[in-house]
């Protein structure tokens, strides 16, 4: 039974919605992010006995390792990891964007995912576990001037390459690729968007398949508005 799910970026948006959906399905949860106040509130809501909260900056390997150690001490195993933490927003295109935003975005969206994988894979190998990654519709498409899109192309590549590395281990890798989702990712609520729970449903679908079913990718976009 895949019963312990670790989620990075669990303090808000897609990660928090997935925590709620997984709690309803009976998972034990390891919820990680930098905002511990939000994680504590979410744990209270979900029933703290089945939830471990971990302060985590995904760009810090020491914090990633501490999270995994604490998860194993608390629950004894990790069955699935949803590497979901990410950030965006660097308008101006390649010629004009704020390069310090690039640095934060590349470190969080690409390097941070790599560190989460490196910290979690030993435990996941033992449980024949499941890795889920938040890529993006923007990681499959050409978006003018977007370094964010480029970081999500990298996540797509991580998903494909990781699946090959893990071939024969019984482990599975699922890329979750959302279109626009109404979350705090945007300063202003986007007009035409999915809800965070729509993405959570896709995560639960992939997680709940039997062991011989490896859901490789789920691309989810909002239905175009009626004309
Ligand atoms: O956004 P938001 P989403 N270390 O801002 C965490 C992708 N996506 O749910 O640390 C650790 O509500 C942050 O936590 P905190 C997107 O690229 C979105 O929409 O407390 N955690 C928070 O929990 C991202 O990969 C859309 O600030 C860090 C979470 O990440 C994922 O969906 C479309 C961190 C962000 O939650 C979740 O984003 C799409 C760090 N250094 C892909 N930095 C969309 N919304 O339209 C950030 O295709 N976090």
The residue-averaged pLDDT of 18-39 equals: 98
Give which of 89, 219, 191, 86 is closest to 145, Cα–Cα: 89
Q: Which of 60, 86, 186 to mutate to test the pocket of ligand 1 (most atoms within 8 A of CB)?
A: 86
The residue-averaged pLDDT of 193-209 equals: 98
Q: What confidence tier does 90 reach under pLDDT thresholds 50, 70, 90?
A: confident
Q: Is the pLDDT of residue 227 over 90?
A: no
Q: Is the pLDDT of residue 67 over 50?
A: yes
Q: Is the pLDDT of residue 209 over 50?
A: yes
Closest ligand 1 atom to the C-alpha of 15? 9
Q: Is 224 helix (H, G, I), strand (E, B) or coil?
A: coil
Q: Is the pLDDT of residue 53 over 70?
A: yes
Distances (CA, A) of 166 to 8, 65, 131, 189, 226: 21, 20, 10, 38, 43
Cβ-based neighbours of 67, under 8 Å, separated by 6 or more: 6, 30, 32, 54, 56, 119
Please state which of the ranges 110-119, 162-171, 185-194 shows the lowest mean pLDDT.
185-194
Percentage with pLDDT > 70 across the chain: 99
89, 151 contact by CB (below 8 A):
no
Q: Is the pLDDT of residue 2 over 60?
A: no
Q: Which of 13, 111, 153, 191 to mutate to test the pocket of ligand 1 (most atoms within 8 A of CB)?
A: 13
Q: Which of 33, 53, 138, 147 to mutate to test the pocket of ligand 1 (most atoms within 8 A of CB)?
A: 33
Q: Which residues are catalytic?
A: 148
- The predicted-structure confidence for 126-139, as pLDDT tens digits, reads as follows 999 999 999 999 99
ipTM over 0.95? The verdict is yes
**Mean of pLDDT over the chain:** 96
Closest ligand 1 atom to the C-alpha of 108? 41
Closest ligand 1 atom to the C-alpha of 8? 21
Question: 11: CA distance to ligand 1 center in Å?
Answer: 9
Q: Is the pLDDT of residue 33 over 80?
A: yes
Q: Is the pLDDT of residue 1 over 60?
A: no
Q: Which residues line ligand 1 (CB under 6 A)?
A: 8-15, 33-35, 56-59, 84-88, 108, 112, 134, 136-138, 178, 180-181, 183-185
The predicted structure's pLDDT at residue 211: 95
The predicted structure's pLDDT at residue 89: 83
Q: Is the pLDDT of residue 104 over 50?
A: yes
Question: 121: CA distance to ligand 1 center in Å?
Answer: 22
The predicted structure's pLDDT at residue 195: 97
Question: 171: CA distance to ligand 1 center in Å?
Answer: 25
The residue-averaged pLDDT of 184-199 equals: 94
């Amino acid at each position: 039974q895949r019963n312990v799910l670790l989620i990075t970026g669990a303090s808000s948006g897609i990660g928090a919605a997935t925590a709620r959906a997984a709690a309803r399905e009976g998972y034990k949860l390891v919820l990680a992010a930098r905002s511990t106040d939000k994680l504590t509130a979410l744990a209270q809501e979900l029933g703290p006995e089945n939830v471990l909260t971990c302060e985590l900056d995904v760009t810090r390997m020491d914090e990633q390792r501490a999270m995994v150690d604490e998860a194993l001490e608390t629950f004894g195993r990790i069955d699935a990891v949803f590497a979901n933490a990410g950030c965006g927003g660097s308008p101006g295109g390649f010629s004009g964007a704020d390069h310090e935003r690039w640095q934060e975005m590349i470190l969080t969206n690409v390097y941070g995912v790599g560190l989460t994988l490196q910290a979690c894979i030993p435990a996941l190998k033992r449980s024949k576990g499941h890795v889920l990654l938040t890529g993006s519709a923007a990681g499959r498409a050409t978006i003018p001037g977007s370094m964010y899109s480029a970081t999500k192309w990298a996540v797509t590549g991580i998903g494909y390459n990781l699946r090959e590395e893990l071939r024969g281990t019984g482990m599975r890798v699922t890329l979750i690729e959302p279109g626009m989702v109404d979350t705090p990712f945007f300063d202003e609520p986007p007009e035409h968007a999915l809800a965070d729970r729509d993405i959570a449903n896709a995560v639960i679908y992939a997680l709940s398949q039997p062991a011989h079913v490896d859901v490789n990718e789920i691309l989810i976009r909002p239905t175009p508005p009626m004309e």
